[in-house]
Amino acid sequence: MSAVTDTVRVAPAANPVSQSIRDSMVIAKRNLIRMSRIPEMIIYGLIQPIMFVVLFTYVFGGSMQIGGSTSAVDYKNFLMAGIFAQTVTFATASSGAGIADDMHKGLIDRFRSLPMARGAVLTGRTLADSAQTALTLVVLAVVALLVGWRVGSDGDTNVGKVLGAFGLLLLLGYAFTWIGALIGMSVRTPEAATSSGLIWLFPVTFISNAFVDTSHMTPWLRHIAEWNPFSATVQACRVLFANPGQSPSAAWPMQHPVWASLIYSILILVVFRTLAVRKYRSATA
């Protein structure tokens, strides 16, 4: 009698990092396809920032004092960095609502049954939201140019600096989407995610240098505004765009806004990604 031995070849385990990247890209692609099939999601996401540009430019433009000037042109150039930053951070609410909706419909449980990296679901979702945010920024920049915004209005700049400013905006927006991801994992309904997302976004964006010169604020409020991570990115964009900025300040983030923006965004990204992935693992355990 002869024995037949079957040799079973075991595939080598995939590299965890490459698997996580691959799985994240698959989820991101899934979300981008979904967005393309629901164009109103993109259209409505564009309407609000365009309205902010038009309203702030033509309603408040002639009454705001920037560096001692009440020129509407100066305010346009001062304003746009704040509008851009507000746009990328407000995407946080929709990101949180989308993740909460996936949880509510049981889609996360279906992903859980697949052999995929645990953090890929959230990473893919945030990457897709960032792609939509980038598209929104492009449209918004065109609208800003149409209403009179110009780079280099207060000095010299170049293409590299302008692209660097938009890079900082996208980094801030991506970091903030992880805050939205954590909120989306922590609430029960998409409506709750949207409401809770906007509650903290309004003070963050308005207690800042986005729309007014902080020198006109009371001292304690000015201190908060100047150390606000949102303000650092706004100021960094104004420096890189060579647009009028706020009055000189001794606060470190206002003296070194580009570095402050990078540090704040990376810190927010690391902290909230860690918390969101941990929340995801506990919710699907």
Mean pLDDT of the chain: 83
Position of tokens 């992880």? 178
pLDDT band (50, 70, 90) for residue 279: confident
Torsion angle defined by CA atoms of residues 23, 25, 30 and 34, in that order, rounded to the nearest 10 degrees: 150
pLDDT digits (tens, 9 = 90+) for 8-66: 444 445 577 787 888 888 888 888 887 778 777 777 777 888 888 888 777 776 666 66
pLDDT band (50, 70, 90) for residue 137: very high
Report the percent of the chain where pLDDT is more than 90: 32
Most confident of 72-81, 93-102, 112-121, 214-223: 214-223
Confirm whether 23 is domain-assigned.
Answer: no
Confirm whether 98 is domain-assigned.
Answer: yes
CB 95 within 8 A of CB 126: yes
Q: How many C-beta neighbours within 10 Å does residue 16 have?
A: 9
**pLDDT value of position 271:** 96
Confirm whether 220 is domain-assigned.
Answer: yes
pLDDT digits (tens, 9 = 90+) for 200-220: 898 999 999 998 888 888 999
pTM above 0.95, yes or no: no
Alpha-carbon distance of 78 to 214, in angstroms, equals 13
- Range of lowest pLDDT (67-71, 114-118, 137-141, 207-211): 67-71
Alpha-carbon distance of 121 to 99, in angstroms, equals 9
Confirm whether 171 is domain-assigned.
Answer: yes
Amino acid identity for residue 18 in this structure: S
Confirm whether 1 is domain-assigned.
Answer: no
Q: DSSP code of 214?
A: G
Confirm whether 247 is domain-assigned.
Answer: yes
- Domain extent, residue 166, equals 37-283
Average pLDDT over every residue of 154-166 = 90
Q: Is 159 exposed, middle or buried (0-12, 13-18, 19+ CB in 10 A)?
A: exposed
Confirm whether 16 is domain-assigned.
Answer: no
Amino acid identity for residue 153 in this structure: S
The tally of domains found in the chain comes to: 1
Q: Which of 231, 279, 277, 224 is nearest to 258 (CA)?
A: 231
Confirm whether 20 is domain-assigned.
Answer: no
| Cβ partners under 8 Å of residue 186, min gap 6 | 279
